[in-house]
């Protein structure tokens, strides 16, 4: 199992060689590898959970915080969900070889635009051991080799999970180097990985601003940033109050330590007197700390004394915790303006019964995912029918939103002729 005695460059060179075999592998071979991966997760569940508990103990001792601990934690239920996600990826159509376009040119040339793998995808991530399997499964199915670089926080979990993935691909007759993990922990590994031009075709980081900063300083290979999520729920004047309360509470509390959880609640002044007392009470009962503007505090009813005053820093913060900023606005336009100023372009929601307001929000908000009458918590490759995701992109070139199988491919033009030459 290569947890890496080889150098970063050697690991990437081996992955590049493996990517050539993967690019031409049959759908059945790739699916066999994924099925073996899911079975390996189940067969070695006790070993995986034991390794994860070692990481959890170290995380608690280091006081890494509840949000990171939640991302780090594996349970029997979560592990079963990861295995089911791998099987779901196996059931999805193979994107490799998909014909995107075909036409005959004026000179008789037959021109086809065909989907092909990227080659070698490197994923750099913090705390989340599920990423090891989710990303490996997506890369294998899309014909890409993967180089994993997790954090020391999840080192024990990642080593076992990567071993499961490597053994699975080998059992299907694919090169073990199709899945590689760099786990040495050396600080120089990340800058070195980010400069493997000709070997690494794409880097996807999943982590905080510090990780992004390092990559922006050093990367010479393409990067898709799986960015932070400063997400909003806007409750419009016409909103159904019962529905709005349920959506707001779910978006904040269902799993607060993830990028698609709501961080700010915007409420139209016309509905605020009916909505806020109830919503704030339910949020408080769920353990949420509220940072509110003056208008919200004046309408908060019996929880008013428990609210903290919001500052500009609160509007800009991705809390990843049971903390929520709340503001009263006077129009859908003001809500759109607030989202545009403070949002990260990840996931935004409006709750409304007014079609015109919904359309204005959908058209006016610049984000990867915009919801009408639904929680932001659905921004996820699994929920979107992708089986899993390799990250959520807030960029606009190549991939946006959940990055799944098709987003891990590019295309090439295949041209057939009958001896044509150009005059």
- Write down the domain spans for the chain: 8-226+390-416, 231-378
Which percentage of the chain shows pLDDT scores above 70? 98
Mean of the pLDDT values across residues 91-99? 97
408 token code pair? 């891990």
pLDDT at 121 over 90: yes
Instruction: State the pLDDT at residue 126.
Output: 85
Instruction: State the pLDDT at residue 4.
Output: 45
Measure the CA–CA gap between 318 and 324, rounded to whole angstroms: 9
Q: Taking a C-beta distance cutoff of 8 angstroms, is the pair 349, 46 a contact?
A: no
What 8-state DSSP symbol labels residue 152? G
Question: Strands 110-117 and 120-125, how do they pair?
Answer: unpaired
Given the candidates 3.40.640.10, 3.40.605.10, 3.40.50.880, 3.40.50.2300, the CATH classification of the domain at 8-226+390-416 is 3.40.605.10
pLDDT at 3 over 50: no
Count the alpha carbons within 13 Å of 140 in the hemisphere toward its beta carbon: 38
Measure the CA–CA gap between 340 and 316, rounded to whole angstroms: 11
- Neighbouring CB atoms inside 10 A of 53's CB total 14
17 token code pair? 């060689």
Question: Which has the minimum average pLDDT: 127-141, 180-194, 274-288?
Answer: 180-194
Mean of the pLDDT values across residues 271-298? 97
Count the alpha carbons within 13 Å of 138 in the hemisphere toward its beta carbon: 31
Mean of the pLDDT values across residues 351-364? 98
pLDDT at 5 over 70: no
Mean of the pLDDT values across residues 82-107? 96
pLDDT at 391 over 60: yes
Q: What is the mean pLDDT of the chain?
A: 94
In CATH, what is the architecture of 231-378? 3-Layer(aba) Sandwich (3.40)
Instruction: State the pLDDT at residue 412.
Output: 97
Higher-pLDDT residue of 349, 70: 349
Q: Model confidence at 330, in pLDDT bands (50, 70, 90)?
A: very high
Instruction: State the pLDDT at residue 102.
Output: 98
Mean of the pLDDT values across residues 382-410? 90
Q: Model confidence at 184, in pLDDT bands (50, 70, 90)?
A: low
**Ordered alpha helix ranges (H), 255-393:** 272-285, 294-298, 312-316, 332-342, 355-364
Instruction: State the pLDDT at residue 227.
Output: 67
Cα R_g (the chain), whole angstroms: 24
Q: Is 364 exposed, middle or buried (0-12, 13-18, 19+ CB in 10 A)?
A: middle
Instruction: Please report, for residues 54, 113, 174, 278, the alpha-carbon distance to residue 215 in angstroms, rounded to integers and kept in the order given.
Output: 29, 32, 31, 44
- Neighbouring CB atoms inside 10 A of 333's CB total 13
Higher-pLDDT residue of 291, 188: 291
Mean of the pLDDT values across residues 101-111? 98
To the nearest 10°, report the CA torsion of 254, 319, 379, 410: -150
| DSSP states of 345-365 | SSEEEEE-S-HHHHHHHHHH-
Q: Taking a C-beta distance cutoff of 8 angstroms, is the pair 347, 376 a contact?
A: yes
Mean of the pLDDT values across residues 304-324? 95
User: What would the pLDDT profile of 210-234 be if each residue is shown by its tens digit?
Assistant: 888 889 999 999 999 876 899 999 9
Instruction: State the pLDDT at residue 388.
Output: 81
What 8-state DSSP symbol labels residue 93? P
Instruction: Please report, for residues 71, 155, 156, 257, the alpha-carbon distance to residue 59 in angstroms, rounded to integers and kept in the order given.
Output: 11, 11, 12, 15
pLDDT at 404 over 80: yes
Measure the CA–CA gap between 2 and 306, rounded to whole angstroms: 53
SS3 307: coil
pLDDT at 1 over 50: no
Mean of the pLDDT values across residues 154-168? 97
pLDDT at 154 over 50: yes
Mean of the pLDDT values across residues 240-246? 98
SS3 369: strand
Instruction: State the pLDDT at residue 192.
Output: 94
């Amino acid at each position: 199992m290569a947890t890496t005695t080889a150098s970063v460059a050697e690991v990437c060179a081996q992955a590049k060689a493996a990517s050539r075999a993967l690019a031409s592998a049959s759908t059945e071979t790739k699916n066999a590898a994924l099925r073996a991966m899911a079975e390996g997760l189940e067969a070695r569940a006790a070993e995986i959970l034991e390794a994860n508990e070692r990481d959890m103990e170290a995380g608690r001792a280091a006081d890494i915080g509840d949000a990171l601990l939640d991302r780090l934690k594996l349970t029997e239920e979560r592990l079963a969900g990861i295995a089911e996600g791998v099987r779901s990826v196996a059931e999805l159509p193979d994107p490799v070889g998909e014909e995107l376009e075909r036409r005959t040119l004026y000179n008789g040339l037959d021109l086809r635009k065909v989907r092909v793998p990227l080659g070698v995808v490197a994923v750099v991530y913090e705390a989340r051991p599920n990423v090891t399997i989710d990303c490996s499964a997506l890369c294998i199915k899309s014909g890409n080799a993967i180089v994993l670089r997790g954090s020391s926080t999840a080192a024990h979990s990642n080593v076992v999970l990567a071993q499961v993935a490597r053994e699975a691909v080998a059992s299907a007759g694919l090169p073990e180097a199709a899945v590689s993990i760099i786990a040495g922990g050396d600080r120089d590994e990340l800058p070195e990985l980010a400069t493997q031009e000709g070997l690494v075709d794409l880097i996807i980081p999943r982590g905080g601003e510090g990780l992004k900063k390092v990559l922006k300083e050093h990367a010479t290979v393409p990067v898709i940033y799986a960015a932070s999520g400063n997400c909003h729920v806007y409750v419009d004047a016409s909103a159904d109050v019962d529905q709005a309360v349920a959506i707001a509470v779910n978006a904040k509390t269902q799993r607060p330590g993830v990028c698609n959880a709501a961080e700010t609640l915007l409420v139209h002044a016309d509905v605020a007197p009916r909505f806020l007392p109830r919503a704030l009470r339910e949020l408080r009962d769920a353990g949420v700390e509220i940072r509110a503007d003056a208008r919200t505090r004046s309408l908060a009813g019996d929880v008013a004394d428990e609210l903290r005053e919001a500052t500009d820093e609160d509007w800009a913060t991705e809390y990843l915790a049971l903390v929520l900023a709340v503001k009263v606005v006077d129009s859908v336009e003001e809500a759109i303006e607030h989202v545009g100023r403070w949002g990260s372009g990840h996931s935004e929601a409006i709750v409304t019964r007014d079609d015109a307001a919904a359309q204005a929000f959908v058209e006016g908000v610049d984000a990867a995912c915009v919801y009408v009458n639904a929680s932001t918590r659905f921004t996820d490759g699994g929920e979107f029918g992708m089986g899993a995701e390799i990250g959520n992109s807030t960029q606009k070139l190549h991939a946006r939103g959940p990055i799944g199988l098709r987003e891990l491919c590019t295309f090439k033009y295949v041209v057939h002729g009958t001896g044509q030459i150009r005059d």
